[in-house]
Structure 1
């Protein structure tokens, strides 16, 4: 052991991703993940089609969409506070014109990985009347809990812990990689209004070819067209006549 790092010398040698101590919980346990390049062979430290990257001093950037949560999943009491600023990119299902900003906190409670946060952005939606673009601010809270499942070794110690997303169709965790981008997409989509209108009066709506729009003067009544001769018309007259005779 290096003499400069002996216990009791007052030097704090804990890394950002150190395990929890009896004194206080540690912050960390989350690393950035980047998608593997398809033309490259998948390296040994990868998880499926994703590769763990160094990031900035091992800390995810605000625009990272994929987070490796392996360490925080196996470290009781550890937490991680992540500031978000995700810009729009080609291929995004959610049409947002300003970056998704906010903050999320992940906490290992022992039984579950708890995720809480608040995010906002501006979505490009369509006016329900004239179909023109309406820029709509959307803000939402995020509340998720993912079960932590461990494999117990012969010594009774959980050597590997996995965070499990119970949502089979919309799972955002695969192989201890959290798809934060997809999680935010789901929450913002649910928070977006289903009906929006232009802030001001809608512009004149173009009519289909052959359709004439007629304006009535104030107080004028629209003329009622004469009903076409039909068997139902005569049936109605017969029923009315029968009812009058019954009342006499």
Structure 2
């Protein structure tokens, strides 16, 4: 078995039964709407598939390590990620039955014959587990806005004194005058 597909032909015939799964697979990247994120360790997935009588319920966990780029200093860093995996799968007829009983549409993933394709669910779980802001460390100092020096590696030589914007023009005149002399 690979991470992408789980055979469930026997399980479909036994309501109330459960099937455990555990696997790992090497992926080179995680595709997102903004680009591809490199994956630097195997994607590990484990959990159970339960036949509830109407649907197949997958519960488990996915883990891997991604290579992200820090939003403050632009350095690449490794980010270990663990995400919960919980999905419902059903054939087309069963999916309509589940939605009809509750009166509102229920999001159930399609069951392709005797296999559950976990890849879309795993990708979605990893994307949803990503942090909103990618930081190499909580106290990342970022880049100097003037010269671009990575402030985590050392202080730059830029003048960082705050200047009142109303006096900025006067400071510019003084610098020009000093350059003439």
Equivalent position SS for 1:141: strand
Matches within 5 A, 1:102-121: 102-121=45-64
Equivalent position SS for 2:59: strand
Provide TM-score, normalisation by structure 2: 0.62
Residues 1:180 and 2:121 aligned together: no
CA distance in 1, matches of 2:68, 2:110: 25
Residues 1:138 and 2:95 aligned together: no
Q: Any conservation in 1 of the 2:72–2:140 contact (CA below 8 Å)?
A: no
Residue of 84, 97, 104 corresponding to 2:23: 84
Please identify which structure carries the higher helix content: 2
Residue of 176, 193, 197 corresponding to 2:131: 193
Provide structure 2 residue ranges, at least 5 long, that are not aligned to the other structure.
32-36, 95-105, 149-155, 171-181
Q: Which protein, 1 or 2, shows the higher relative CO under an 8 Å CA cutoff with sep ≥ 6?
A: 2
Shift of 1:183: 1.5
Aligned match of 1:236: none
Aligned match of 2:68: 125
Shift of 1:107: 1.0
Provide structure 1 residue ranges, at least 5 long, that are not aligned to the other structure.
1-59, 151-164, 208-212, 228-248
Matches within 5 A, 1:144-159: 144-147=87-90, 149=93
Shift of 1:135: 0.9
Aligned residue pairs total 141
Compute the RMSD of aligned alpha carbons: 3.1
Bigger radius of gyration among the two? 1
Equivalent position SS for 1:215: coil
Distance 1:120 1:64, change over 3 A: closer
